Amino acid sequence: MLLVVSVCAMVASTYLCSSSGKATLTEKVFNQLTSLRAAKTDRIQDYFQSLYHHSQTLSEDLTVVGVMQEFKSAYRQLEQSTVPADFEAKIDTYYQTQFIPKLTRTNEGSPVLASYTPKTAAARKFYKYNCDIAILRTVFKQPKYHKTRLKED
C-alpha cells in the first residue's frame, strides 16, 4: 500500500514538473522569438530609413541633379535614334536561340518571347551597345573589370 501511494506521488510530481517545465520552456521560447522579431523589425526599419535619408541627400546634391537632367535628355535622344535593321534580327535571334532556352531550363512554364525582348528604341540601343562591348572584350580577351584601370582611377 505504501508503495502504491509513493508511486502515485512520484507520477503526480513528475507530471506536474513536466507540465510546468513545458509551459515555462514554451513561454521562454515565445519571448525569445518575440524579441528576435522586434530586433529584426528595428533593423529593417533602420535600413529603410537610412535609404530614405540617403536618397534625400542625393536629391539635394546639385551634381546628382545635373547628372539626372543630362541623363534624361540623353535618354530622349536615344529614344529618337534607330538601331540598324540587321541588328534587330540579331536581337530576336539571340533571344530565340540562347536566352529563352536557358530561361526554360531554369524556370517552370514556357516563357513568351515578346515579354523579354527589349521594346523601346533606347532599350534596343543599350542592348546593341552592351553587345558591342562584349564583342570587344572577346576580341581583346580583357576581363570585365580590369584591375589596372581601377588603380589608375
Residue from 32, 122, 33 nearest 76 by CA: 122
Give me Rg for the CA atoms of the chain: 32
The tens digit of pLDDT for each residue in 78-134 reads 888 777 777 777 788 888 888 888 888 888 888 888 888 888 878 877 776 666 666
Beta carbons of 121 and 78 less than 8 angstroms apart:
yes
Predicted pLDDT of residue 147:
47
> What's the confidence (pLDDT) of residue 53?
94
Backbone angle region of 90, left / alpha / beta, with phi > 0 → left and psi within -120 to 50 → alpha: alpha
Q: Is the pTM of this model over 0.85?
A: no
- Output the pLDDT for position 149: 44
Residue 140 has pLDDT above 80, yes or no: no
Q: What is the dihedral of CA 121, 124, 125, 126, to 10 degrees?
A: 120
